Amino acid sequence: MPGLMLNEDDSHFYACRPPEKINRDGVYELVDHYISPPMKELIFNVNAMRANFPSRVWPRVWDGFDPGQGLDQPKLRAVPAEHRQRVWEMYRNLSSLDIPRCWIERVRHHGRSAWLSVRMNDVHDVDNLDLPGHSPFWRDHPEYWRVPDPQRFTTWTDRAFDYGHQPVGEYFVSLIEEVFDRYDVDGLELDWMRFPLHFRPGFEDEGREILIDFHRRVRALADSHAGRRGHPIRIGVRVPSRPQTAWAMGLDAVAWVKEKLVDLVVITPFWPTIEFDMPIELWRELLAGSGATLAAGLEICVRPSPKVWPKHDDLVLNTAETALGAAASLLDRGADRIYLFNYMDSGTTVQDPDDYRSILNRAGDPSTIVDQPRRHVVTYSDTVAPGEPEALALPSLCRAGQPSRFRLHIGPKPERGTARVFVGCGENGNQDTSPLEVHVNGTRCTPGEYPLPRPIHPVVRQVRGFAIPEGILHRGYNCVEVSSASPDPHEVFWIEIRIEPA
């Protein structure tokens, strides 16, 4: 049976709660919030550059904080004065709380599978070397970075660890071994997507062999602790959505699965956008006969193209309609799970908080999606290997005699109700949508003043809806063709099919 998985990140709980909630009851309340009928596995992340539990082998989030000192202590000097009291109380409570242990207890109380997750290369905010959240090991060893030359620094992942250096792997093995030793888990996830680059450019081929050996060590640790715990311990990984991209980055998840090193593969975008069109069928074929669980990861943002940056860096967040649209398609294509990442209960969450329960209650079960409105939007794959060309459908210039064509996978065929195509034009080119014509699977669609779905990315300046005749859509991929009677080009920057059951 399909189902739902959810990842709670390393800092959301203690960063978004008042100090009086940073305790066992607060963790229980958080887990309770995430429980829903299709929820199968709940995953808690134990680290970024520092551990959020009482680690003996890694620096902790609260290291350097002294509850016996006041608000002017060194740990708090960078905190704005108006926030210091709250942060002081947060650190005090956090230093005496074992969040993963509380998480596991409460997840098991609900009869769900309790997992922990290790981020394998978190490099948030590394443009500022002095932030207190950074690891001393990372800061003291710039020679272990992917791009150690400060003159070549362009983006955070330049300063990610290069696993080609043996001490890097040893450093992470020490944390993983401690997690197994300290916590009785049903599964451990190795999150290779936080962040996804792990080798200096040009050394990804050697990296594949390094990470196979790394996973062998993790599997041996898991099996050893499984014997002690008296139950299996599953190993999961998060990797890029495209198998060729994952392979080119040194993340050979297929080899890990074939060698029985990994039991769960989560294919996912990184962050900028949810990816509606992930090649589930190809992954199913590559993993055939392995018994591994295949999960499709949903991210929280929705963007039509990386071309919206840097001018439009707005966080356009998913709604129930977009999340359910993606889930309907991905489950229909063969995903075993829908995996929610950054779908937390506050802060990083959906556009409308009222949508949250609908996603938790429905997204993991096709039977509870088909009777709901859903949107299928053209987005893109946001993760590429070094030097790999980006495949982008948008923006697309549509001229007279030069139509733009798009493939949208909608999952199951709608049996009743209405379906419409919405075409949005960007700020470049003709924005008058009246010359546009739309065909779906070769059949002309009727333009009209239909209510627009929300949100639509602000890069779009004008949108028009077109009614799809009944019976035209079919299961799986549908071809949308946009043409223009105008000699002036239209910059198409948004395409979606919205389905509303009767």
Q: What was the pLDDT predicted at 502?
A: 85
Nearest 10 degrees: Cα torsion 343, 349, 350, 354: 100
For the chain, the residue count is 502
Distance in angstroms (rounded) separating the CA atoms of residues 502 and 498? 13
Give domain status of residue 225, yes or no: yes
Q: What was the pLDDT predicted at 233?
A: 98
Could you tell me which residues are beta bridge partners of residue 456? none
Give domain status of residue 292, yes or no: no
| Token pair recorded at residue 439 | 């065909």
Q: What was the pLDDT predicted at 346?
A: 85
> Radius of gyration of the chain from Cα atoms?
24
Q: What was the pLDDT predicted at 63?
A: 95
Distance in angstroms (rounded) separating the CA atoms of residues 352 and 102? 29
Give domain status of residue 257, yes or no: yes
| Token pair recorded at residue 481 | 């063709």
8 A C-beta contact, residue 423 and residue 494: yes
* CATH number for the domain that contains residue 409: 2.60.120.260
Give domain status of residue 487, yes or no: yes
Q: What was the pLDDT predicted at 17?
A: 87
Q: Of 243, 268, 293, which residue sits at a domain end?
A: 268
Non-local CB neighbours of 136 within 8 Å, separated by 6+ positions: 59
Half-sphere exposure of 17 (CA within 13 A, CB side): 22
* Helix (H/G/I), strand (E/B), else coil: 162: coil
- Got the DSSP string for 266-298? EEE--SS---S---HHHHHHHTTTS--EEEEEE
Name the residue type at position 284.
Answer: R
pLDDT in tens, the chain (502 residues): 899 999 999 999 998 888 899 999 999 999 999 999 999 999 999 999 999 999 999 999 999 999 999 999 998 887 888 988 988 998 998 999 999 999 999 999 999 999 999 999 999 999 989 888 899 999 999 999 999 999 999 999 999 999 999 999 999 999 999 999 999 999 999 999 999 999 999 999 999 999 999 999 999 999 999 999 999 999 999 999 999 999 999 999 999 999 999 999 999 999 999 999 999 999 999 999 999 999 999 999 999 999 998 888 788 999 999 999 999 999 999 999 999 999 998 888 898 888 999 999 999 999 999 999 999 999 999 999 999 999 999 999 998 889 999 999 999 999 899 999 999 999 999 999 999 999 999 999 999 999 999 999 999 999 999 999 999 999 999 999 999 999 899 999 999 999 999 8
8 A C-beta contact, residue 463 and residue 367: no
Name the residue type at position 53.
Answer: F
What is the bridge-based pairing of β-strands 462-467 and 446-448?
A: antiparallel
Could you tell me which residues are beta bridge partners of residue 463? 424
Give domain status of residue 486, yes or no: yes
Distance in angstroms (rounded) separating the CA atoms of residues 450 and 212? 53
Distance in angstroms (rounded) separating the CA atoms of residues 264 and 162? 24
8 A C-beta contact, residue 253 and residue 239: yes
Stated as kind and residue range, the H or E segment containing 217 is: helix 204-229
Q: What was the pLDDT predicted at 440?
A: 98
| pTM of the complete model | 0.96
Give the helix, strand, coil percentages of the chain, each rounded to 5.
Answer: 30, 25, 45
Could you tell me which residues are beta bridge partners of residue 317? 301
Distances (CA, A) of 306 to 127, 134, 383, 388, 457: 21, 28, 11, 15, 12
Give domain status of residue 130, yes or no: yes
Q: Of 268, 292, 324, which residue sits at a domain end?
A: 268
CB-count burial class (<10 Å; 0-12, 13-18, 19+) for 144: buried
Under DSSP, the state recorded for 353 is G
Could you tell me which residues are beta bridge partners of residue 189? 117, 236
Q: Are residues 125 and 264 in the same domain?
A: yes
Give domain status of residue 349, yes or no: no
What residues make up the domain containing 184? 120-268
8 A C-beta contact, residue 162 and residue 146: yes
In total, how many domains does the chain have? 2
Give domain status of residue 159, yes or no: yes
| Token pair recorded at residue 135 | 């690891």
Per-residue H/E/C for 101-142? HHHHHHHHHCCCEEEEEEECCCCCCCCCCCCCCCCHHHHHCH
Q: Of 222, 242, 268, which residue sits at a domain end?
A: 268
| Token pair recorded at residue 489 | 């080009």
